[in-house]
Amino acid sequence: MSKTGITTLSGLLLVIFSSIFISIFSPGSHAHGDEVRPSADKPGVIHDFVITGVVLNSGNARLVEQFVELLGKHSGYRMKARFVSSYDDLSDILRKQPDAIGWTCGVPFVQDRRRDGQQLIGVPLFNGKPLYYSLILAHRDKTEKILSDFRGQVLAYSDPRSNSGFIAPSYVLKKQGIDIKKHFRLLLHTGNHERSIRALLNGLADVAAVDEYVWTAWRRNNPQKARKLRVLQRLGPFPFTPVVAGRAVAEPTLRTLQETLTALPDMPQGRQLLQEFGLDGFVLEKPEFYQPIENMLIELNGLQH
């Protein structure tokens, strides 16, 4: 191989390598605007339906889009799905765009309702109830029995404002007199529940707190990998992740949306979507339904975010 040959090959490899990096790590879908749009229930306006990966499994984008489209079509409130990577982003968008709709978690809802006047639309029914658990997962080889046994190890969690991922385990440990931030060698922020599961599988984390709903769906799709993990504890039950509206969404729109959500099991497409989501339907609850979460936050001094 001549010197020129090596130089040419080197250049070619650099281009290929750079392309790989760009393709893997380009920000693309994570970009979002920061400007505040006027909150209005105006005809012709397309509203954001904000959703985070903390709530759902990956690969559900198409399903979410169909769900949002169906909801808009039947409620007359036109929407498009917008994916964000954290509850902070979701809260931020609903604060700046109060006409937006979102599928959030109990903790950010309690906090944002208090601060931004978020409104509750409906709560999904999972296993027939608007409730779910936070599961403490670990590798099957681990001998520890409960979360507190993992002292000095690595805890994976999806989001610091995730009820199942962080608040519930924090609360349970606090009840045992343990400060979650001091108990573990590292609190590994993964971004979503699926990544917490992956962190366990790859040995990155020793224990993880994961949403029961996400785990159920993931286990269904990955039965082989799921066998390597074990549920050590079930924390809860807690009020399930709610569909919410910004403060500017008008009462009639809210009602229409509620009617549409609750009527989904009666629609063929709605039934199909619910089945694919692994949900039984939506129910209407009062905001006080989330009082248990609010109580936990008060104990953890985390009500004000």
Partner 1 sequence: MLTWIKQSFARQTGAIMLITGLLLNSLYSFISYQNETRQLEEFIESEARQLTEILALLITDDLRYEKYYDLWDKIIRVKNNYRQQSQHGRLFNIRSIAILDKQEKIAGHTDPQHFPLKSDYASIAPNNVRHGHIFSDYHHEWRDDMSTLLMHIPLRFGDEVIGALLLELDPSPLIKHKKQLITGYVIYQFVLISIILILAMLFAIWIAKPVGLAVRVLDDIGKGNIHLRGLTQRQDEFGKLGEAIEKADQRIFHDTQKLQQQQDELEKNRKLLEQRVQQRTGELEEANKELAAFSYSVSHDLRSPLRAIDGFAQALDEDYEEKLDETGKNYIARIRAGVQRMSNLIDDMLMLSRVSRREIESFPVNLSEMAERIRRRLQEQDPDRPVEWNIARQVRVEGDPHLLEILMTNLLDNAWKYTGKTMEPRIEFGTMDEKGETVYFVRDNGAGFDMKYADKLFGVFQRLHAMGEFEGTGIGLATVARILQRHGGRIWADAQVDKGATFYFTIGERSR
Maximal CA-CA distance, the chain = 76
Task: Please name the residues in contact with 91: beta carbons below 8 A apart, sequence gap of 6 or more.
Answer: 104, 108, 111, 112, 116, 305
Q: Which is nearer to partner 1, 26 or 304 (CB)?
A: 26
Within 123-162, the residues that bind partner 1 by CB under 8 A are 154, 156
Q: Does 21 bind partner 1 (CB under 8 A)?
A: yes
Q: Does 15 bind partner 1 (CB under 8 A)?
A: no
- Measured CA to CA, the distance from residue 18 to residue 121 in angstroms comes to 46
| Per rule CB under 8 A, count of chain residues that contact partner 1 | 28
Encoded amino acid at 72, one letter? G
Least Cα distance to 233 among 158, 90, 105, 137 occurs for 137
Q: Which stretch binds partner 1 (CB under 8 A): 21-29, 71-79, 99-107, 251-259?
A: 21-29
Residue of the chain from 15, 16, 36, 45 that contacts partner 1 (CB under 8 A)? 16
Residue 40's alpha-carbon distances to 97, 234, 250, in angstroms, are 9, 42, 8
Within 198-237, the residues that bind partner 1 by CB under 8 A are 199, 202-205
Q: Which stretch binds partner 1 (CB under 8 A): 16-24, 38-46, 126-134, 272-280?
A: 16-24
Least Cα distance to 161 among 300, 277, 36 occurs for 300
- Smallest distance from partner 1 to CB 221, Å: 19
Q: Does 271 bind partner 1 (CB under 8 A)?
A: no
- Measured CA to CA, the distance from residue 248 to residue 97 in angstroms comes to 8
- Smallest distance from partner 1 to CB 20, Å: 5
Q: Does 8 bind partner 1 (CB under 8 A)?
A: no
SS3 209: strand
- Smallest distance from partner 1 to CB 197, Å: 12
Q: Which is nearer to partner 1, 22 or 44 (CB)?
A: 22
Within 63-92, the residues that bind partner 1 by CB under 8 A are none
Q: Which stretch binds partner 1 (CB under 8 A): 9-17, 50-58, 70-78, 265-273?
A: 9-17
Cα dihedral 196, 282, 75, 163, rounded to 10, equals -30
- Measured CA to CA, the distance from residue 216 to residue 243 in angstroms comes to 20
Three-class HEC string of 117-167: CCEEEEEEEECCECEEEEEEEEECCCCCCCHHHHCCCEEEECCCCCHHHHH
Q: Does 17 bind partner 1 (CB under 8 A)?
A: yes
CA angle 291, 295, 299 (to 5 degrees): 170
The Cβ of residue 7 has, within 10 Å, a number of other Cβ atoms equal to: 10
Q: Which stretch binds partner 1 (CB under 8 A): 53-61, 123-131, 182-190, 211-219?
A: 182-190
Q: Which is nearer to partner 1, 11 or 76 (CB)?
A: 11
Binding map of partner 1 across residues 184-203, x = CB under 8 A, - = no contact: -xx-xxxx---x---x--xx
- Residues forming contacts to partner 1 in the complex (CB under 8 A) are 1, 3, 6, 9-10, 13-14, 16-18, 20-21, 24-25, 154, 156, 185-186, 188-191, 195, 199, 202-205
